[in-house]
Amino acid sequence: MKTRLLILLSSISIFVSCKENRKQAYIESPTGWEIMDVPTDASIRGLSPLTSEIIWASGSKGTWLLTLDGGKNWSTGIIDGLDSVDFRDIEGLSASTAVAVSAGQPSVIYKTVDSGKTWQKKYQGPEEAFLDGISFYKNKKGYAIGDPIEGKWMVLETTDGGETWSWLESSPMAELGEGSFAASGSTILVDRDYIWFSSGGIKSKVYRSNDSGHKWEAIETPILQGEPSQGIFSISKLDHDNLIAVGGDYLQPDLSQNNAIYSQELGEKWELLSGDLPTGFRSGVAYFPRHHWVISVGTNGSDFSKDGGINWEKFSEEGFHAVFMDKSQSSIWASGANGKIGRLIY
């Protein structure tokens, strides 16, 4: 299986090189992060870069953030006065429109269409609800994942750009002790009719649907699991068929054990990576096709892989919660505690 992956990754590298006609010089590795001057000390877990200039973010104390000039200047505020609510994920749809999700107390979804000046509540879950993240495809179709209630996962769907949300009756059942992590807003991934979301805790699985949530498969994974603090914390796509997921144990930030897995079959089967693993607990992962790098972040620093996630190397001591590539595929951004937002430099 490892041989197949190496051959596939070599093919991807050749394709990327040919596509760019070698106009861009080969860069061996990223050199670190450019840390932005951000006007908040909130913990920033929600992150949604649209381009290298337009980035939305959200976090604790009801905080939202928006830059239109690559982080030089930021607009910020509190969503609907909810200064005690933690907005763990946000999805930017344009420079004026974004959808933000709070984890709990209450679990709500808000939307702005005027660059954050005003926010309208579009959904509120039951009292026991805890929402973990959202993901959109083509701005209209989106899904949010929430922890199980009475044994059933909360899979919320919108088909009108976040204006209305419904809890899918087809949402799968969970095992006792399963939940999802709201550490980075990236335990859910949507691509066309496919939906993937991950669980953690006593069991860490990937739930997969290939028909927009009508039917689901619950797929076992070999990632570190068995304790409430362990499991998958982030999923990302490498290409059409290949996915990668990272995690570990957030109570042991330096533990580098069974903390990265991959799938060559659109998430139908998962295997442990056999090379040098990320150097600790990792809550975010993103693929950067421009340089064929995979970037992972956690509280003890940042790692990168240049062979599709087989081998990892630490390139920065900067710790973050979340990492995402912008939708134009031109830059990588990360966010973390105390208002930290950074742009990958190389």
Q: Which residue blocks in the chain are alpha helix, DSSP H?
A: 2-19
pLDDT recorded at residue 318: 98
What residue ranges define each of the domains in the chain, with the CATH number in brackets?
A: 2-16+30-345 (2.130.10.10)
pLDDT recorded at residue 24: 52
Contact 236, 287 (CB under 8 A): yes
Spans of the chain below 50 pLDDT: 1-23
What is the end-to-end Cα distance of the chain in Å, rounded?
32
pLDDT recorded at residue 251: 98
Write the pLDDT tens digit of every residue in 135-194. 999 999 999 999 999 999 999 999 999 999 999 999 999 999 999 999 999 999 999 999
**Strands of 72-124, DSSP E:** 75-78, 89-92, 98-101, 108-112, 120-124
pLDDT recorded at residue 266: 96
pLDDT recorded at residue 23: 44
pLDDT recorded at residue 98: 98
Percent of the chain residues past pLDDT 90, beyond the cut: 91
pLDDT recorded at residue 281: 98
